[in-house]
Amino acid sequence: MHAVMTVDSCSCNPRSQARPGRDAIQLFTEGDRLFEAMLAAIDSAQKQVWLETYIFADDEIGRRFAEALVARARAGVEVRLQADAVGSLFQFHHFLGREFDAAGVQVHFFHRWHWREPLRYNRRDHRKLLVVDGRQAFLGGFNIHRQSSQRYYGVARWRDTHAAFRGQLARQAAELFDAFWRGDRERLPVVDEQASSILVPNQSRACRRRLACIYNDALGHARRQVCLTTPYFVPDHRTQKALIGAVKRGVEVRLLVPHAGDVRLARWAANAVYAHLLDAGIHIYEYQPRMLHAKVAIVDGDWATLGTANLDYRSLFQNYELNLVSRDPDLCTRLQAQFEADLTEASAVCVTRWRRRRWLPRLAELLGWSVRRWL
């Protein structure tokens, strides 16, 4: 079986060969274009609209989606909406829920607080997935909120990455959404062994850290270059070891992170490991123009993953996530080109200057690192 297709294990060896996929994958890096495409897909639905998101905000973007979902439900289409209870906290207002109820939209908030199961509150549904009629799907980092829209948020809108696809990938998406909705959170999709792309959840019955294993396997097999984009970089020790091991083998490792993130503690935790990685020869770049929220990795220009998982403890070991893992040559080329374009708007972190930072930033880093598993 081709490595990216080994859905019954926790390894996806990037060195194995796979045939080019038959289903074209469209990329979106601007929220307005993505939202228009998603809304058009919803408007075209004849049977089902299934939407899963971490944040569904009652703002200009959320209202447009709400209107589209209500319209399809009133037309007799089955509409399901799953939003994370924490991600949408204080953003999904009660009157919006009443509109959904009146129209017949099925709404589920994932892991609401309950005193009988307090620990489950720490495990969130971080997936962002739209499936229409089981034939068209969208997956990536964009949430349903105005921060991703230049039209409503301005030039400071978040920089993110999303993918749209049809065919067998869309069927996998439908299977995974339906299983998750029904409470089966360890389901793996049925996969064509000849495909070059699959959808990979981070948990299965065989492994509860599948995406962590996939990332480390990819890093361990890299031969020339690793390019990583992540908004929240809080790597566990195994991932740090894999990154440094790649550099020792002569692999160029480049990491792109935001200059200014939206979670200060997460940034402090990331900063705590910079010196160690810079000393090892890893190149770290900070994206300057705006908040960087994309989650993408490219290895040797011929293996890539994008989706909802960050390179941090919460995504890799706690939350429910979903990534696209691919050897599609065209997709890898486009993601590589986007990475190079992003670097033109980034500044390199200098190891010498980094080591000269004052005691107060170091104290903040210690604080961030101490709570890294909860960020």
In the predicted structure, residue 213 carries a pLDDT above the cut 50: yes
State residue 3's pLDDT score: 40
Residue 217 one-letter amino acid: D
Both tokens assigned to 296: 């993408």
Q: By three-state DSSP, how is residue 139 classified?
A: strand
> Is 80 exceeded by the pLDDT of residue 186?
yes
Is residue 183 within 8 A of residue 176, CB to CB? The reply is no
Q: Does the pLDDT at position 11 exceed 70?
A: no
- Confidence check: pLDDT of 7 > 50: no
DSSP secondary structure letter of residue 338: H
The residues annotated as belonging to the active site are 126, 128, 133, 293, 295, 300
pLDDT tens digits along 61-111? 999 999 999 999 999 999 999 999 999 988 877 778 899 999 999 999 998
In CATH terms, 22-194 corresponds, of 3.30.420.40, 3.30.870.10, 3.40.50.1110, 3.60.10.10, to: 3.30.870.10
Classify domain 208-317+328-370 at the CATH class level. alpha beta
Burial of 56 (0-12, 13-18, 19+ CB in 10 A): buried
CA 242/CA 238 separation, integer angstroms: 6
For tokens 């770290």, name the residue: 284
Transcribe 182-245 into DSSP letters.
Answer: TT-TT------TT-SEEEEES--SS-S-HHHHHHHHHHHH-SSEEEEE-SSEE--HHHHHHHHH
DSSP H or E stretch at residue 79: strand 78-84
Residue 249's contacts (CB-CB under 8 Å, 6 or more residues apart) are 222, 223
For residues 62 and 186, the model is more confident at 62
Query: pTM for the whole thing?
Result: 0.90
Residues of each domain in the chain carrying CATH 3.30.870.10: 22-194, 208-317+328-370
Burial class (CB in 10 A: 0-12, 13-18, 19+), 12: buried
pLDDT in tens, 106-141: 999 998 877 777 777 788 999 999 999 999 999 999
